[in-house]
Structure 1
Amino acid sequence: MNVIIGSMATDSRERMVRSAAFLFRERGYSGTGFRDVIAHSGAPRGSIYHHFPGGKVQLATEAVRYAGEFLNSGIEAAVEGGDPGAAVDAFMGWWRTVLIKSEFRAGCPVVAVTVESHDEAPQLADAAAAVFARWQDTLATGLGNAGVPDDRAAGLARLIVAAVEGATILCRAHRDVGPLDEVVAELKKLARSAVEEG
């Protein structure tokens, strides 16, 4: 019986973390409250305070980590083939899907939390920085496996993350995936030319 209760508690906690990440994509950090997370996740009302005694900052930190790991696992799977363009496609494909399915209402939950991080919650910025660094490392590894020299792969990985995140914001503003597609096409050319130069 205790195992079942423990499992239900873990499931409830995970649902709240996933819901927070989902809601941050559309509403931002300040636009998402505990009530919203409870309603979206279907978790029992009192459980959010039990699972997140550190409050909204703790929930947001875990939601950022969850979103980071979720996307990173997709990048890792895609970059194993040795194609430098696959690294770019792996990172942008998720954002393209999110933009279209949400009708351009949703963006990156990590960015949403980053731009709203304040001095009183430096752990949010730290969590976001760790996610961006992880994505960059995974992309750099994929680019390196495809033949891009290590020093160039690191810089190119940072450029991919920055450009795709920026393009996602432009897509939301224009309600069109064109900016993302254009940026990705240019990034893929850069990645392939880096292999040839290497």
Structure 2
Amino acid sequence: MGTDSRERMVRSAAYLFRERGYSGTGFRDVIAHSGAPRGSIYHHFPEGKAQLAEEAVRYAGEFLNAGILAATEGGDAASAVDAFTGWWRQVLIKSEFRAGCPVVAVTVESHDDAPQLAAAAAAAFDRWQDTLATGLGNAGVPDDRAARLARLIVAAVEGATILCRAHRDVAPLEDVVTELKAMTREAVKDA
């Protein structure tokens, strides 16, 4: 029961939360999806589903943050928007609009008995915002404006992702991207 099966379970949980949500994903689903041995989930996550979900949120947050970080290095302000939205576009299309953000899924279903889930989600959102703000700042957007724009980007893209799933179309995301890019370019001009 090595760390390989543990990592597979964390990745599988994040993947399943995107489509089924937190409540709709059980240990049995994670075991089946990950191919991990049955007893290993209780060995690796003795505190239960909340522990697995917390780690899945951290994994998803770091995974997307790594993509944002790579794409925003040395780019223009609009590349920060592209960095955050390109992955969501792929997820939506590839999943035929069944998948959304695992961090959002856990956030909207987190309960008072597992406050660590909301804290993990907040940390993921904050990390994305910080990375986007840094990218925007490096592109010439003043720091205070970069922080506000980064929060707007995260909020707008998460909302657009939900609209895309409802409409089964990427048009809401495309519209949000167009407007966010215009705003980021204007922020650089105004600096």
Q: TM-score, normalised by structure 1?
A: 0.96
Superposed CA offset, 1:36-80 (max 9, x none): 000000000000000000100000000000000000000000001
- 1:66 corresponds to which of 59, 63, 76: 59
Partner of 1:193: 186
- 2:31 corresponds to which of 10, 29, 38: 38
Q: How far apart in 2 are the matches of 1:174 and 1:82?
A: 32
Asked if residue 53 in structure 1 is aligned to residue 46 in structure 2, the reply is yes
Partner of 2:74: 81
Query: CA RMSD of the aligned region, Å?
Result: 0.6
Deviation at 1:12, TM superposition (A): 0.3
Deviation at 1:81, TM superposition (A): 2.0
Q: How far apart in 2 are the matches of 1:45 and 1:114?
A: 27
Count of aligned pairs: 191
Q: How far apart in 2 are the matches of 1:116 and 1:135?
A: 21
Q: How far apart in 1 are the matches of 2:107 and 2:135?
A: 26
Partner of 1:14: 7
Runs of 4+, deviation exceeding 6 Å: none
Q: How far apart in 1 are the matches of 2:5 and 2:26?
A: 17
Q: Secondary structure of the residue that 2:73 maps to in structure 1?
A: helix
Instruction: Report 1:1-198 matches (<5 A).
Output: 9-198=2-191
Aligned identity (percent) is: 85
Structure 1 unaligned residues grouped into runs of 5+: 1-7
Q: How far apart in 1 are the matches of 2:76 and 2:8?
A: 35
Structure 2 unaligned residues grouped into runs of 5+: none
Letter in 2 for 1:150: D
Q: How far apart in 2 are the matches of 1:71 and 1:45?
A: 29
Letter in 2 for 1:127: A
Superposed CA offset, 1:88-147 (max 9, x none): 000000100000000000000000000001111110000000000000000000000000
Deviation at 1:82, TM superposition (A): 2.9
